A and B are shown apart, each in its own frame.
Chain A
């Protein structure tokens, strides 16, 4: 599906011109000189645009409709994947997919938010906003991973928990809280990757890990910029200002020094221009961290996770 953000548009015009020239050069006329010149220009422009993105633009990039979603990462990174469904209490939640697979040949569990690309799938996936059943399914799968001694990989990409009557009625606060408590105590490695939008409690409910990684153009925040603007600026359209204030980009959060372990680079132009290349960069990073965590005993894994959380404290005493 063709979709471009406002700041991508100058690039699109250049790309179109390039494509036209390439099509014409099959005739007796040789445009290779011009093509090369234009390619260099496009590369330079892309570099310029992507090294100067505002926090609001990065937020839009994190929400890009063509950004790789969990099932895209599953396709490119894992083998032997099979999805499992349901929380065994109420229903299945398509906004949070869970399953088992192999990573680098070794068995593991995979959990992640799933958004949709076309209208029908967006609705089916509830725009990636889980209901309590999603968190409870995820917990069931994590406890199964512990039972079989498998590492857990989670992929975080959600605007947040779904603010609906049913979600409240069925105790979404309790479901999120329970996951936080149980993930802290899990006896297997947990590696979290924030791939797109890390939206508040709906994200955190699958994001307590021994390692927390963030893709270069992902964002992670306690509240969406729009939600924050509605409360603090009393104006939901002031998302741009709120995004600046929230300092929600991977780079911002890395600077805090205690929340994430590594920023995973993306292909120039963003992960959406090349899913395979983006997934490969993620895979390399996951492999490195898993290899490190394999050296730890179950108790050491729990202790490391606890101390990591304990360090998330910036206060004046």
Chain B
């Protein structure tokens, strides 16, 4: 096997400078396709400086964005979902939960707690789309419900920032019931004369839209967010025609009277503060 001894020079991969971007330093905007310095996007509150595209952000980033620094106290941080149906598609639900916890560093798709906006006490619930697409099972429903109940107890406003693909199928009928449970809690808030503000961010669809996300005294949307009940693909398949341009985007919902206003992320906190002070007569 002498011929084998003569080792060839190892093949050195040719540097492909034009494709390879150092991980995390540059980001491509999915809307305008520009390659932008990641730090610049971050400094701009995760909004594309070229086209104003609002990148999806985590619940923690959202908290930092709208609440006063250090004012947030999280509640029920350890609450987790249970695979009570032993649901299995390609993967067991219990394994999906574990994987999502590991990947996202969160225990489920919503964080809730108390904090302040310009010193005004509020209760907030924040969705995190990175946890199973922000889907609503019993944990999400329970946290949103407890947020509304806490606001009632504290006599303060309640805010929910939604970003969700809808109900979590792996919890079947119980996930559907969370729509009714959360809406019932909001009915008590309304009766008590306390403000509830729903902020709809990209994307908010399905059972989340058809419950607390549409029930705000003020429904506020981020620009160009996808907001709807039925998914665009399902509609397209049902009616067998192309959907109109801009269908189910924030601007379309504003035009059709379903949201009160579209607010850009940099103005979000000051706008919330202004509205809450009017409703709380401060």
Contact = CB atoms under 8 A, between A and B. Distances in A.
Interface of A: 161, 163-165, 167-174, 176-178, 180-185, 200-201, 204, 207-208, 220-223, 227-228, 231-233, 241-242, 245-248, 253, 256, 258-259, 305-306, 309-310, 312-317
B177 interface: yes
A177 B78 contact: no
B184 interface: yes
A312 B81 contact: no
B40 interface: no
Contacts of A246: 85, 87, 169, 172
Nearest to A132: B229
B229 A165 contact: no
A221 B230 contact: no
Given A314-B138, A315-B139, A231 B184 contact: no
B207 A222 contact: yes
B22 interface: no
Contacts of A313: 138, 141-142, 181
Interface string B226-262: 0011110011001100011001100000001110000
Contact of B234 (A169, A227, A242, A305): A227
Contacts, number: 180
B261 to A, nearest CB: 16
Contacts of B176: 200-201, 204, 221-222
Chief secondary structure at chain B's binding surface: helix
Interface stretch (B5-13, B122-130, B211-219): B211-219
A35 B229 CA distance: 55
B173 A181 contact: no
A171 B87 CA distance: 32
A161 B229 contact: yes
Contacts of B31: none
Contacts of A242: 89
Contacts of B211: 176-177, 180
A184 B239 contact: no
Interface stretch (B62-70, B153-161, B186-194, B274-282): B186-194
Contact of A168 (B89, B190, B235): B235
Given A180-B211, A221-B173, 11 more contacts: A163-B238, A164-B230, A165-B243, A171-B258, A173-B210, A173-B258, A201-B229, A247-B85, A247-B172, A248-B172, A317-B78
B229 A312 contact: no
Contact of A223 (B139, B141, B167, B212): B167
A246 B170 CA distance: 7
Given A232-B89, A312-B138, A315-B81, A171 B180 contact: no
A228 B174 CA distance: 15
Contacts of A231: 169
Given A168-B228, A200-B176, A177 B181 contact: no
A314 B97 CA distance: 14
A63 B206 CA distance: 23
Given A165-B243, A174-B258, A178-B215, A223 B80 contact: no
Interface of B: 76, 78-82, 84-85, 87-90, 138-139, 141-142, 145, 167, 169, 171-181, 183-184, 186-188, 190-191, 206-207, 209-215, 228-231, 234-235, 238-239, 243-244, 247-248, 256-258
B132 to A, nearest CB: 12
B229 to A, nearest CB: 4
Contacts of B90: 232-233
A184 B183 contact: yes
A176 B187 contact: no
B39 to A, nearest CB: 37
A177 B228 CA distance: 12
- A-B pairs with the 5 shortest C-beta distances? A184-B184, A163-B230, A180-B183, A173-B229, A232-B89
| Chain A CB within 10 A, most for which of B141, B142, B183 | B183
Nearest to B186: A181
A314 B174 contact: yes
A256 B173 contact: yes
A317 B76 contact: yes
Contacts of A184: 180, 183-184, 187
B173 A220 contact: yes
A98 B207 CA distance: 24
Contacts of B234: 163, 227
Nearest to B175: A222
A312 B212 contact: no
